[in-house]
Chains A and B, each alone.
Chain A
């Protein structure tokens, strides 16, 4: 029999995020250090030893995973204003204050630099594809819960729109056979921004920020979604909902 607590948990956005917490941990690592997604690609390359660090990260004890996410989410508990490369640089500084994590992430950075431009491009493409698939599965679950009578529609809708936004950011990343130096900064910015948004969701799950903060995040974003659901001739009808 389902008890009242689990029923509430199923209905809420936080409950949904709880159900995907281990996926969010993995996705955070993928976005922060894309090499984490490339376990197979790094084999037989100059970075094959990075597998040791990747495994260390993916197999951290629950307590250490929680500690790592705690550092990440403390960092984003205040909204960040600035460029996304700076965000990642500052986040690096914060994470590396903990020697255990510094050692792992430094080694991943070193190995990633040893990969050639084709291998790097393949790893980032794989990261984006894996993330897109995982976002899709969370969105499918949200869709189902929105059809559940007792669900918190407003909260679930907002979380869904954040994921929709992430999907759009990730889909806009352009890949060639290899990443040119000039494109690298742009891609790092897009991954940095996606990482921030994902961490804000985790910070919300941990009660470090409130729903209003997530609404602010979405409202600060300017992007044109890939799929247009409204024709320009329909824009005027929507004006009614703006304002008092």
Chain B
């Protein structure tokens, strides 16, 4: 079977239609005839990025709430909230709709329950928000998740061989290394993967590491193709 897969940035771009890579990632889906598999760690990294952004926005909202917690009048609270959120939106216009959504949720909560347990509500809410990521992703593309079974002794032994073999290649960070390992663990002559990335460094290092696996661990060059989005778009324009 042939499959295609995405690097983290492209996964995120699928979900956010305002992302600079959204068109590219959608183009890939529309032109791919194979099934999609996504690395467990790439999904994890996508969720982590989302979590960090949501946490920042919620922390900014909490700063506002701290300032207005002494106000007793609910109308006045609403007025102050709207005024302060406007400032936040001006600071980061790309998140205007998101802040509007947050503001609505806060006003709804404060009207019903007051401010006392608002931080906890926002904490639960932000965790819920992160978890919509995979739901939204699933609406755009059907995929299976691939990874490494760390409890399997054979896989652990293979991991140690792979680590040793590709040791001369220094990936940018641990996550890039794990994504590469998850890909190569799921390759065989029956499972070939086209992996799309927007990261030039990953393309270069991934290819180099894979050539070491071909040389030392009998991987076949046809099993993994790392495709940079620029190359894909160029080939698309020539069609």
Nearest CB of B to A217, in Å: 10
Q: From known contacts A225-B131, A242-B53, infer whether A235 and B151 are also in contact, taking CB-CB under 8 Å.
A: no
Q: From known contacts A86-B151, A229-B124, A235-B136, infer whether A241 and B98 are also in contact, taking CB-CB under 8 Å.
A: yes
CB under 8 Å from chain B, chain A span 188-244: 215-216, 218-220, 222, 224-225, 227-230, 232, 234-244
Contact B128 A228 (CB under 8 A): yes
Closest to B53 in A: A241
* 9 A-B residue pairings within 8 Å (CB atoms): A142-B120, A142-B123, A147-B115, A147-B119, A215-B51, A216-B44, A220-B44, A242-B136, A243-B18
Contact B117 A82 (CB under 8 A): no
Bound CA–CA A41/B40 (angstroms): 43
CB under 8 Å from chain A, chain B span 119-144: 119-136
Contact A243 B127 (CB under 8 A): no
Bound CA–CA A121/B171 (angstroms): 49
Majority SS at the chain A contact face? helix
Stretch of A19-27, A101-109, A160-168, A171-179 that contacts chain B: A160-168
Q: A81 at the A/B interface (Cβ < 8 Å)?
A: yes
Proximity string of chain A (59-88) to chain B, C-beta cutoff 8 Å, 1 when within and 0 when not: 000000000000000000000011100100
Nearest CB of B to A165, in Å: 7
Bound CA–CA A229/B45 (angstroms): 24
For chain A, give the interface size range.
Answer: 35 or more
Bound CA–CA A164/B126 (angstroms): 11
Nearest CB of A to B7, in Å: 13
Q: B65 at the A/B interface (Cβ < 8 Å)?
A: yes
- Set A142, A216, A228, A241: member contacting B54, Cβ < 8 A: A241
Q: A44 at the A/B interface (Cβ < 8 Å)?
A: no
- B interface residues with partner A (beta carbon < 8 Å): 9, 12-13, 15-21, 40, 44-59, 62-63, 65-66, 69, 94-95, 97-98, 100-101, 105, 115, 117, 119-136, 148-151
Bound CA–CA A234/B108 (angstroms): 14
Contact B12 A153 (CB under 8 A): no
Closest to A222 in B: B134
Contact A241 B17 (CB under 8 A): no
Bound CA–CA A209/B20 (angstroms): 34
Residues in chain B near residue A86, CB distance under 8 A = 151
Closest to A235 in B: B132
Residues in chain A near residue B136, CB distance under 8 A = 235-236, 238-239, 242
- Set B17, B46, B119: member contacting A143, Cβ < 8 A: B119
Contact B59 A237 (CB under 8 A): no
Residues in chain B near residue A241, CB distance under 8 A = 50, 53-54, 57, 95, 98, 129
Closest to B149 in A: A82
Nearest CB of B to A196, in Å: 13
Residues in chain A near residue B51, CB distance under 8 A = 215, 218-219
Residues in chain A near residue B122, CB distance under 8 A = 157
Residues in chain A near residue B124, CB distance under 8 A = 164, 225, 227, 229
Residues in chain A near residue B95, CB distance under 8 A = 240-241
Contact A237 B98 (CB under 8 A): yes
Task: Tell which of A146, A218, A224, A242 has the most Cβ of chain B within 10 Å.
Answer: A242
Residues in chain A near residue B128, CB distance under 8 A = 225, 228-230
Contact B121 A142 (CB under 8 A): no
Nearest CB of A to B111, in Å: 16
Residues in chain A near residue B150, CB distance under 8 A = 81-82
Nearest CB of A to B60, in Å: 8
Contact B125 A230 (CB under 8 A): yes
Bound CA–CA A101/B130 (angstroms): 40
Q: A158 at the A/B interface (Cβ < 8 Å)?
A: yes
Contact A240 B47 (CB under 8 A): no
Residues in chain B near residue A82, CB distance under 8 A = 149-151
- Set B9, B16, B65, B129: member contacting A147, Cβ < 8 A: B65
Contact A81 B59 (CB under 8 A): no
Contact B123 A161 (CB under 8 A): yes
Contact A157 B12 (CB under 8 A): no
Residues in chain B near residue A222, CB distance under 8 A = 134
Bound CA–CA A142/B149 (angstroms): 36
Contact B44 A240 (CB under 8 A): no
Closest to B156 in A: A82
Closest to B54 in A: A241
